[in-house]
Structure 1
């Protein structure tokens, strides 16, 4: 440890770092709870309005207050692609090929965007959960080293002199673990929610393709 840096500065810096980790963790947790709750609510409203529509034309004109959510944005992407492909009439390279495969690709791209939005913040939780105990351990090691220097300088090895500084140093490890546990639990919980909502989006993409191709077949017939 450099002699020109006071040990208290490094130890306090470690504790402040853990405090920042804790604030970041709980900020992400509350935001993701709101995000997943809102997405679920919007998806349920959109599903009800979408599948109650008489045909694709009515489904495309679902009220704007309902069309806010992952599934709604995927449907909007699908309708946009259908309208653009009809107007392009094969004049653009991106519309050349099997319409079903091109439409599916467009929907999959939008679904990947939605998944990235749902996964935002999870990397931060995973990083905090994995590094916080080591940051706390780092503070503990420095604290014990500082305590040993003070004990040596005092020349006393009584329990009262030794236990106090070492006990204070161990607080950093306890704080590191306390910060890591909520981050890890929240990461696992939200990762499961991402998988559940992705499964719902995949089912919607499959259903959207089915009704679109069925409507197109009827129109050609």
Structure 2
């Protein structure tokens, strides 16, 4: 029968570190996997939040001044170089310029729309990167913790069998190790699930705004600038757009 290693006076012989040392390679591996998963989940949460916040701030800039510009090139120049909204505009303008190079041309509006849609989809894919990891951690972490729990309980039963009786000294370490793994699995899984759902919801709102903007850009391009959204325009600008859009529409200033 083995006895617990003597602890220093005042030290807790059944704490986390002693439990991991006694648990061996399996317990240490489970603990490492869960801690790394938690750390990566937190990193993804903050990095994706910052990425989303940048696009939200870009959307405010678009609503404020983008559509008041005389043309798309001038409007794009007001946006940050790495702006998601500028990427959509630049890809649309590039598609418009290259349309005449097609050997088997399709309608220009279809070609431009296809290019803008691809650009918007690529932004959505970038926003969604990292979320599958959060979903995986949220689903798997409790079972990884449960595996550590099973190993701890098994070790406790082995000690009981070797000692011939269920003494506290024999089972305290393995049972404590099992409880630690259970708690750590939950601590890792719950934040990952909450972060996944929260980021997914924000992505949905952001993509709705991007799709609406892409539709506005497409309408502007295929109408030669006659169709544009009303926000960001003065009353005089709104009246001018409405009047030139069809030649018969009139608006009240």
Give the TM-score normalised by structure 2.
Answer: 0.75
Contact 1:46 1:72 in 2 (8 A): no
C-alpha deviation, 1:44, in angstroms: 2.0
**After the TM superposition, which residues 12-27 of structure 1 pair with which residues of structure 2 at under 5 Å, given as runs?**
12-27=28-43
Distance 1:67 1:15, change over 3 A: same
Sort the Cα spacing of 1:9 and 1:103 in 2 relative to 1 into closer, same or farther, 3 A: same
The answer to whether the 8 Å contact 1:140/1:169 transfers is yes
Q: Is the 8 A contact 1:46 1:66 kept in 2?
A: no
| Aligned mate of 1:49, from 57, 61, 65 | 65
Residues 106-138 of structure 1: CA deviation (Å, up to 9, x unaligned): 000011100000000000100111000000000
| 2:183 paired residue number | 174
Query: 2-side partners of 1:186 and 1:93: how far apart?
Result: 48
Distance (Å, rounded) in 2 between the aligned partners of 1:140 and 1:17: 14
**Residues 56 and 34 of structure 1, relative CA distance in 2, 3 Å threshold:** closer
Give how far 1:9 is off. 0.9
Aligned to 2:80: 66
Query: Per the alignment, do residues 216 and 69 of structure 1 end up closer, same or farther by CA in structure 2, a change over 3 Å counting?
Result: closer
Q: Which consecutive unaligned segments of at least 5 residues does structure 2 have? A: 1-21, 227-243, 248-253
CA contact (8 A) 2:156 2:170 kept: no
Equivalent residue, structure 2, for 1:38: 54
Identify which range, 157-166 or 111-120, moves more after superposition.
Answer: 157-166
Q: What root-mean-square deviation, in Å, do the aligned CA atoms of Structure 1 and Structure 2 show?
A: 2.3
Structure 1 residue matching 2:33: 3-state secondary structure: helix
TM-score, length-scaled by structure 1: 0.85
User: How big is the shift at 1:139?
Assistant: 0.5
Q: Which runs of 4+ in 1 moved over 4 A?
A: none
Residue correspondence of structure 1 range 185-200 to structure 2 within 5 A: 185-200=194-209
The reply to whether residue 75 of structure 1 matches residue 85 of structure 2 is: no
From 11, 31, 36, the equivalent of 2:27 is 11
Q: CA deviation at 1:160?
A: 5.7
Q: Quick check: 1:92 aligned with 2:102?
A: yes
